[in-house]
């Protein structure tokens, strides 16, 4: 008798080549409409599939993961982040979890750089005006931003994406790099290959940096960057976030921007996606992107393929390559 293929639910649409590869090996249910699954659908899926290929929009919390008659044993998350999954709950019910690191590092750092430049040079507001037909012609004093050359970039979280962003900003934009990391660096300049300084607290970083860029995983009990931290930023400072919205006290950030207490922000991620606070939409000193740090055809395909590698590893017994649980 032929062995049954594992049943796999793919929660969102994936690049065609990835879906084709999944369909070859698995009894797969795809989501061609790409509509995010509701909580009840995710709970029901737990009893019908052997594995899920999920992503950031799937909130796999304790009540979903511990659904009755659970059959799912493996979750291959498409994304380096996995804060959409309650890892404690997954551990209790013995579900294996994998992510897709590395392949998106450079693309995400590119978007961080884009947000640094777009926010300091005010290009979003300028382009919006142009598109609305309000450009009256060149003016020496219109749309003045601030230069980044020689300014201090403060990186929070000096992991893969933090390093790739810092390297671009240093070599590409001529910025000085200061960073906060839980891991102590014996000699940052030696380790990174250019002059860089580690500070020992987020407070010190916020007060020192001209541009702060966040590169830490989300999913903590509370925001790592609190209202108190935001209050320590320079009035001329900019905050960039390409990591997770829940890492920053979003209400405090919005209040600081609305009150003009900081100069601007560049955001790719939000605390309650896809909701973007109305107050942000009204501001002309912010650049707002719809969570697209890794959104290139090449990278999203590579992420999907890595998720399939992880699934294959789980089912052939060699283990997921990027197992995080």
Residue among 95 and 104 whose Cβ is closer to ligand 8YV: 104
Tokens 């594992």 locate to 6
Min dist. Cβ of residue 40 to ligand 8YV (A):
22
CB of 80 to ligand 8YV, least distance (A): 4
Task: Write the DSSP assignment of 141-191 as a string of letters.
Answer: TTT-----TTPEEEEE--SHHHHHHHHIIIIIH--EEEEE-SSPPS-HHHH
Touching ligand 8YV, residues 2-61 (CB under 6 A): 55-56
Q: Which residue number has the CB closest to ligand 8YV?
A: 79
In terms of CB distance, is 266 or 293 closer to ligand 8YV? 293
Q: Which residues contact 53 (CB under 8 A, 6 or more apart)?
A: 8, 9, 10, 11, 14, 22, 76, 77, 78, 307, 308, 311
Of 78 and 214, the one with the shorter C-beta distance to ligand 8YV is 78
Q: Contacting ligand 8YV (CB under 6 A), which of 37, 80, 117, 153?
A: 80
Quick one: 65 or 107, whose CB is closer to ligand 8YV? Answer: 107
Q: Compute how many residues bind ligand 8YV; rule: CB under 6 A.
A: 9
Exposed/middle/buried for residue 293 (C-beta within 10 Å: 0-12, 13-18, 19+): buried
Q: Is 26 helix (H, G, I), strand (E, B) or coil?
A: coil
From the list 72-80, 141-149, 256-264, 277-285, the region that binds ligand 8YV by CB under 6 A is: 72-80
Contacting ligand 8YV (CB under 6 A), which of 104, 161, 202, 212? 104
Q: How far apart are the first and last CA of the chain?
A: 33
Which residues participate in catalysis according to the annotation?
A: 244, 273, 291
Question: What are the residues facing 28 on neighbouring strands?
Answer: 8
Site for ligand 8YV contains 159 (CB under 6 A): no
Residue 131 CA, chain-centre distance (Å), reads 29
Q: Is 78 in the site for ligand 8YV (CB under 6 A)?
A: yes
User: Which of these ranges, 75-83, 181-189, 191-199, 315-323, lies near ligand 8YV under the rule CB under 6 A?
Assistant: 75-83
Asked whether position 294 contacts ligand 8YV by CB under 6 A, the answer is yes
Under a CB-based contact definition with an 8 Å cutoff, are residues 124 and 286 in contact? yes
Q: How far is CA 75 from CA 36, 40, 103, 302, in A?
A: 16, 17, 19, 17
Q: Which is nearer to ligand 8YV, 188 or 218 (CB)?
A: 218
Q: Which of 260, 293, 254 is nearest to 114 (CA)?
A: 293
- Choices 79-87, 131-139, 166-174, 316-324 (CB under 6 A): range interacting with ligand 8YV: 79-87
Residues lying near ligand 8YV in the complex (CB under 6 A): 55-56, 78-81, 104, 293-294
């Amino acid at each position: 008798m032929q062995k049954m293929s594992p049943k796999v639910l793919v929660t969102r649409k994936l690049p065609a080549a990835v879906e084709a590869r999944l369909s070859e090996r698995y009894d797969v249910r795809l989501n061609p409409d790409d509509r995010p699954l509701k909580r009840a659908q995710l709970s029901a899926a737990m009893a019908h599939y052997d594995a899920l290929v999920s992503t950031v929009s799937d909130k796999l919390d304790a009540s979903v993961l511990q659904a009755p008659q659970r059959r799912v044993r493996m979750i291959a998350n498409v994304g380096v982040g996995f804060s959409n999954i309650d890892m404690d709950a997954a551990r209790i019910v013995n579900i294996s979890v994998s992510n897709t690191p590395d392949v998106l590092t450079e693309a995400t750092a590119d978007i961080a750089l884009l947000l640094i430049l777009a926010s300091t040079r005010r290009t979003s507001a300028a382009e919006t005006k142009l598109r609305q037909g309000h450009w009256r012609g060149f003016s020496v004093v219109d749309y003045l931003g601030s230069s980044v050359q020689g300014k201090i970039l403060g990186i929070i979280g000096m992991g893969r994406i933090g390093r790739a962003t810092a390297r671009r900003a240093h070599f590409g934009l001529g910025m000085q790099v200061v960073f906060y990391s839980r891991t102590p660096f014996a000699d940052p300049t030696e380790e990174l290959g250019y002059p860089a300084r580690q500070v020992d607290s987020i407070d010190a970083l916020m007060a020192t940096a001209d541009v702060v860029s966040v590169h830490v995983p989300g999913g903590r009990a509370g925001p790592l960057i609190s209202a108190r931290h935001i209050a320590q930023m320079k009035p001329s400072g900019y905050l960039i976030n390409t990591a997770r919205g829940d890492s920053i006290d979003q209400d405090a950030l919005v209040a600081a921007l609305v009150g003009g207490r900081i100069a601007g922000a560049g955001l790719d991620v939000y605390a309650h996606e896809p909701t973007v606070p109305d107050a942000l939409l009204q501001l002309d000193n912010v650049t707002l992107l719809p969570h697209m740090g890794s959104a290139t055809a090449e990278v999203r395909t590579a992420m999907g393929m890595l998720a399939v590698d992880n699934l294959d590893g789980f089912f052939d017994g060699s283990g997921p390559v990027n197992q995080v649980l």
